Chain A
């Protein structure tokens, strides 16, 4: 019995950041990396199943990314994951979330898990499609925004509750194996103490290449993606102004602004 948890190391902005020269992203020096918040919850959900089960359950975390991602994977190992896999090849740079899904599906085919968990979305890119595209490439059932999970390891289906708009919940029975994207608040993620993280350094992180999962550079990267980032920027701030005075004064001021705007 195995659960594969797909995780991502996300970036957050430091103060006074600068854009990259190609304007497609923020300069890496100004980014702070950490494990995606949603992934804390999906890992915790897997750990809960592992810890409450009588049978042996292996929790494997997988991520696509460069060496810096090891730090986040180690955090997952500290929280109790049995193994960690990191897929990387220079050619993966620039892949969109659908391609990442393709890579994760290839890992899943190799690992043959009984369940795949992913976060609903990543806090930096927020495409909300990595988990779903993984399911598509695997041709497995999927459910998004899972807020509750009842699953007995080894059984052929699971009952989940999905979070909908307006505080509604949808209860769904889903065939297994399946890909679930886990919503925040489904559980209380445990704390990974720094000592735990340090001790997890002894657990190996498996580095695998595209060839290991039967993919080639032609399957990944910006060229194989169906979407590409053109630029990233901060929109100019819109201005608002309260016009004071009597009605007549306000109208006069308004006309003046319109004229200025037309003139400009």
Chain B
């Protein structure tokens, strides 16, 4: 090796001192512009309301780093884009660290204490790693360009579903322009960097401490070889280098200066968004403080700093829009557009030095950047968007907060308003008498304990649909038989139970939710039990995740977990096996909300069914359309319903016999959709409980009323 101290990269060789000063002036200017931009952004966030997500910062930081390093969230459902982004990310990070090392030595350590380290072996490895990083960066960028230009992905055309052609903010061509400007400037920086490296090699080809080690920068060496082959002289290369050097340098500095003003800011905002992610986002909605005058979000300054940060994290990737069931059936909702609208609104109003008047901060309405009422009411709160967002944006809590304001102002569907009043009056969405809540037990050949009077192992929280809907009552009776057969000690709250409130909270009627939740907690606290069990995933979610905020912390299990254990423990004998070909629909509130993917599938296997998965399954399960209170709002006539869309997907499965659900609302939605989408007779919809029930052999004493269980409407028959 030559003198290792000489094996390094020349920095400002042959530069006039004034040129160096000029370069530093540009550098400082770029940093100043960057810092000012950051200041404006931070000032914007500080104009939001406080948020309590500051706890466990170290833990949050480690989680964020893990997510970023593995690119876990980016490769989901779009592997190529995720991997290409990984290359760009890695390339950028390494090149940034590389440049920082040079600055560290040249501008800080060497002038201060006279120590150098950027030479010899360290430099050579440095050189190799950065060459490969640059190669990855360019490769990733080229794929992204190809993807934008030739793949014609609907999610990348930014076409709005909530605005019409002609509306002031319909046009999103500026976004496309920004995307391309970003890609081109980035790739130019990379390419000119390599050419610059090559010109330096050719220019200094006579200097062994440079030329002998050229293979440590293989890409540069390759280009240098090509240059020499086509006859570029060292002098020519030197001249080319000085021009290119300024181009590359100034472009890079401009790029840095632009970070806080353009989509490039996502390198900070996405990271921060991931860091402040709420693991229970949407599963547990935020409370409205008692002292807060108006419920929910009315103005942009009602958003918390965290909400505002989430808005800025969006990279418009469109995964949320692809996953959205409302969007899939043509409703005027794209979760991405809600985020982008609010972001545009926030940038317009909150970036200014002075905060505009209150009236100009209203985020509801039909003007530029405002969110339409129809858009907010289209949401099923199924959490598909929150779940897939690679940068942890929490769309659903934001939408519900905005709905809370609509509810307070009475801006909702008349039928929904009626339902809310009914629930307030009767405690259930069916408007039935409280006394009739447990009328389904009359048809059973055995008594069910009243958990309000005696202690039980399992307190069964039945829920509205399972209690009052005639079709679901059959299923409810089936589960009672199964529990009885297994000898489980269980009981009910009978008329002491009220609607659990899950969907009322997601509608945005927080006051009614608080009323229902506190009343139920009061009832539950007065009972003695070991665990709650429910067949209703909606009740399951709110009791499990939201009641603790109101002082009700209980162990609660979905029936699938309980039944699975009963079969495994031999307490429940299967008298026969079913050899149906089935598919399973994950209910949002069991699957995506609470990760209960396995138990229902395990049971299906135990029953002997052959399970064929649909394309959209588990975390990508497609909402039946009933969530978020949409079961009480009629869908527009003449358009496809999410449930019908789902039936089409199931029908693709060759020889499908049973479409299995495990949620009362799913049963209602899909049995209806089976008829209306024309697949009646091709396959049937069944609740998992019904299949388990089918495998049972009961020895209860036959009672006259038992026959009622088999009729569709037991309450009419009695």
Using a CB–CB cutoff of 8 Å, the interface residues on chain A facing chain B are 14-16, 32, 34, 190-191, 193-198
A191 and B510: CB pair below 8 A?
A: no
Q: List 20 A-B contacts (CB under 8 A).
A: A14-B435, A15-B432, A15-B433, A15-B436, A16-B433, A34-B425, A191-B407, A191-B417, A191-B421, A193-B407, A193-B408, A194-B510, A194-B511, A194-B512, A194-B514, A195-B408, A195-B510, A196-B408, A196-B511, A197-B511
B424 and A194: CB pair below 8 A?
A: yes
B412 and A198: CB pair below 8 A?
A: no
A191 and B515: CB pair below 8 A?
A: no
Q: How far is the CA of A16 from the CA of B510 in the complex (A)?
A: 32
What mask results when residues 487 to 515 of chain B are scored 1 for a CB within 8 Å of chain A, else 0?
00000000000000000000001111011
A16 and B435: CB pair below 8 A?
A: yes
B435 and A198: CB pair below 8 A?
A: no
What mask results when residues 421 to 441 of chain B are scored 1 for a CB within 8 Å of chain A, else 0?
100111000001111100000
Given contacts A191-B420, A194-B514, A194-B515, contact A32 B432 (CB under 8 A): no
Contacts of B90 in A (CB 8 A): none
Q: Which 4 A-B pairs have the closest CB atoms?
A: A194-B511, A195-B511, A191-B410, A15-B433
Given contacts A32-B426, A34-B425, contact A193 B435 (CB under 8 A): no
B527 lies within 8 A of chain A by Cβ: no
Given contacts A34-B425, A191-B420, A193-B295, contact A15 B509 (CB under 8 A): no
B509 and A193: CB pair below 8 A?
A: yes
Given contacts A32-B425, A32-B426, A34-B425, contact A193 B433 (CB under 8 A): no
Contacts of B509 in A (CB 8 A): 193-194
Nearest CB of chain A from residue B328's CB, rounded to whole Å: 30
B433 and A14: CB pair below 8 A?
A: yes
Contacts of B407 in A (CB 8 A): 191, 193
B288 lies within 8 A of chain A by Cβ: yes
Nearest chain A residue, comparing its CB with the CB of B511: A194
What mask results when residues 265 to 290 of chain B are scored 1 for a CB within 8 Å of chain A, else 0?
00000000000000000000000100
Q: How far is the CA of A32 from the CA of B428 in the complex (A)?
A: 14
Q: A32-B425, A193-B408 are in contact. List 12 more A-B contacts (CB 8 A).
A: A15-B432, A15-B433, A16-B435, A191-B417, A191-B421, A193-B295, A193-B509, A194-B424, A194-B509, A196-B511, A197-B511, A198-B511
Contacts of A32 in B (CB 8 A): 425-426
A195 and B288: CB pair below 8 A?
A: yes
Contacts of A194 in B (CB 8 A): 424, 509-512, 514-515
Nearest CB of chain B from residue A87's CB, rounded to whole Å: 25
Q: How far is the CA of A87 from the CA of B510 in the complex (A)?
A: 32
Nearest chain A residue, comparing its CB with the CB of B293: A199
Nearest CB of chain A from residue B541's CB, rounded to whole Å: 21
Q: How far is the CA of A206 from the CA of B432 in the complex (A)?
A: 34
Nearest CB of chain A from residue B288's CB, rounded to whole Å: 7
Nearest CB of chain A from residue B540's CB, rounded to whole Å: 23
Q: How far is the CA of A98 from the CA of B85 in the complex (A)?
A: 80
Q: How far is the CA of A190 from the CA of B417 in the complex (A)?
A: 10
Q: How far is the CA of A32 from the CA of B407 in the complex (A)?
A: 25
Contacts of B412 in A (CB 8 A): 191
Nearest CB of chain A from residue B402's CB, rounded to whole Å: 15
A193 and B511: CB pair below 8 A?
A: yes
Contact of A190 among B288, B410, B511 (CB under 8 A): B410
What mask results when residues 577 to 595 of chain B are scored 1 for a CB within 8 Å of chain A, else 0?
0000000000000000000
Nearest chain A residue, comparing its CB with the CB of B432: A15
What mask results when residues 505 to 546 of chain B are scored 1 for a CB within 8 Å of chain A, else 0?
000011110110000000000000000000000000000000
Nearest chain A residue, comparing its CB with the CB of B295: A195
Q: Which of A16, A32, A195 counts the most B-chain CB atoms under 10 A from its CB?
A: A195
Contacts of B510 in A (CB 8 A): 194-195
Q: How far is the CA of A181 from the CA of B435 in the complex (A)?
A: 36
Q: How far is the CA of A177 from the CA of B110 in the complex (A)?
A: 93
Q: How far is the CA of A36 from the CA of B410 in the complex (A)?
A: 19
Nearest CB of chain B from residue A18's CB, rounded to whole Å: 12
Contacts of A197 in B (CB 8 A): 511
Q: How far is the CA of A59 from the CA of B20 in the complex (A)?
A: 77
Contacts of B433 in A (CB 8 A): 14-16
Nearest chain B residue, comparing its CB with the CB of A195: B511
Nearest chain A residue, comparing its CB with the CB of B508: A193
Nearest chain A residue, comparing its CB with the CB of B434: A14
Q: How far is the CA of A191 from the CA of B434 in the complex (A)?
A: 23
B435 and A15: CB pair below 8 A?
A: yes
Contacts of A193 in B (CB 8 A): 295, 407-408, 509, 511-512
Contacts of B408 in A (CB 8 A): 193, 195-196
Q: How far is the CA of A14 from the CA of B431 in the complex (A)?
A: 10
Contacts of B424 in A (CB 8 A): 194
Contacts of B421 in A (CB 8 A): 191
Contacts of A14 in B (CB 8 A): 433-435
Q: How far is the CA of A31 from the CA of B426 in the complex (A)?
A: 11
Contacts of A15 in B (CB 8 A): 432-433, 435-436
Nearest chain B residue, comparing its CB with the CB of A33: B425
Q: How far is the CA of A15 from the CA of B428 in the complex (A)?
A: 14
Nearest CB of chain B from residue A1's CB, rounded to whole Å: 25
Nearest chain B residue, comparing its CB with the CB of A189: B410
Contacts of A195 in B (CB 8 A): 288, 295, 408, 510-511
Q: How far is the CA of A216 from the CA of B111 in the complex (A)?
A: 101
Nearest chain B residue, comparing its CB with the CB of A199: B293
Nearest CB of chain B from residue A206's CB, rounded to whole Å: 24
